[in-house]
Amino acid sequence: MTIAQPRPGPTAAAHPRRGPLLARPISRRSMLVRTVAVTGGVAATGTVLAACGGDAGISESTRIAEQLAPLSLAASDDAVAARTLRARNPDRAAALAVIATERETHATTINDEIARLAPDLARPSTSSGVAAPSAQPSGAPPTSGAPAAPTVTTVEQLRERLASTASSTGDLAVSMSGYRAGMLGSIAAACNAQVQVQLG
């Protein structure tokens, strides 16, 4: 009589492709490389976030006031130019007087809004309007980073300046809302009328 021999039970075997399921040791060099990579990624992320928040210190009111400041200065320059040209162009004296008055009003109106938004950027007010840029108080921040306007010596040059102002003011009006949009739109329309009617 033959007695069947018991079959051996299953034994732990290695994966046919991957070998024993054991954790591979990590060398000191590999650990350093991974640490540097992670640290560099965190530093890069911090740099990007800092760059994105670089303008966080400028308020919305100040940003708008800085956009308006060049328009106020341009209006004052136009008013001065129109008054100067009156003496040289008697046949245009009446039209130039209207332009000088309107542009001075524009300068004051815009400057008043600047004063409401960011008082430090506004020019001082005088009995006849707003003070020229040279009259800024000592130590006060500049009202605009724009270069000085070129000297206007002819009526045609003034006409070109007013046409340019009408365009730039109208463009800015589109980006504004509420009172400021209406104010700038009205000024742009007035400059167009000065070009086409007063100096047309």
Surface-to-core class of residue 102, CB atoms within 10 Å of its CB (0-12 exposed, 13-18 middle, 19+ buried)? buried
Phi/psi-derived region of residue 19, left when phi > 0, alpha when psi is between -120 and 50, beta in every other case: left
State the maximum Cα–Cα separation within the chain, in Å, rounded to a whole number: 143
Distances in whole angstroms, Cα of residue 81 to Cα of each of 43, 84, 168, 186: 55, 5, 19, 21
Reported as a single tens digit per residue, the pLDDT across 64-116 is: 999 999 999 999 999 999 999 999 999 999 999 999 999 999 999 999 999 99
- Closest by CA to 44, choosing from 154, 52, 60, 1, is 52
Taking the whole predicted model, whether its pTM rises above 0.75 is answered as: no
Count helices and strands in the chain by DSSP H and E runs:
5, 2
Q: Which residue has the higher pLDDT, 48 or 187?
A: 187
